[in-house]
Amino acid sequence: MSMIATSSSLPTTTRVRPRRITAAFWLWMFALAAGVFEAAISVTQALSAGEQFGSLLAPIGIRLLAFIVLAVLALALRAGRGWSRYALLVLFTGLGTWSLVADPLTYLLDGGSVSDALAAATGWDAAFLVSRVVHILAVWTASVLMFTAPSYFRRNAVA
């Protein structure tokens, strides 16, 4: 009788992904979709205002790169790669949130008013605003959820 263990005789261990991590993943995907929606509105408005498509290529390229990085990091989060939480936190919760609120804050700090902005808003502006608010809520909720299951990210963690 052989005492050598074969791969079929070894016990297998699998990690069960916590629901909170799955929820965080889907919230990140929702934030990505909101970002795509907001980018589409921005491009549509710029083209409608007479901007040339060529002048929009750099901003579109930067957003596309950010969307790809976000998708890769969210997939790494879902797979249990602990480092992805910190990358998402710094790049998208921190820097990303700043990029989402910088223009409105600048407008307000320069003397603009919320009532004036709302009075001049179009239907596209309203859609953009609703998307942006829900986008930020998704990012911050995902950020909290991804830190609520630390055992999922430990090496050799088993269910």
Domain that holds residue 34: 19-144
The answer to whether 158 and 13 are in contact (CB under 8 A) is yes
Integer CA distances (angstroms), 98 to 21, 45, 103, 106, 130, in order: 24, 22, 9, 11, 17
Instruction: Give the chain's domain count.
Output: 1
State the pLDDT at residue 154: 82
Structure token pair of residue 154: 């430990």
**pTM for the whole structure:** 0.85
**Any domain includes 1:** no
pLDDT tens for the chain, 159 residues: list them: 445 444 555 555 567 899 999 999 999 999 999 999 999 999 999 999 999 999 999 999 999 999 999 999 999 999 999 999 999 999 999 999 999 999 999 999 999 999 999 999 999 999 999 999 999 999 999 999 999 999 999 875 544
State the pLDDT at residue 48: 94
State the pLDDT at residue 97: 96
**Any domain includes 155:** no
Longest Cα–Cα distance in the chain? 85
Cβ within 8 Å of residue 17, ≥6 positions away: 78, 80, 152
**Any domain includes 119:** yes
Nearest to 103 by CA among 125, 88, 127: 125
Nearest to 154 by CA among 88, 85, 70: 85
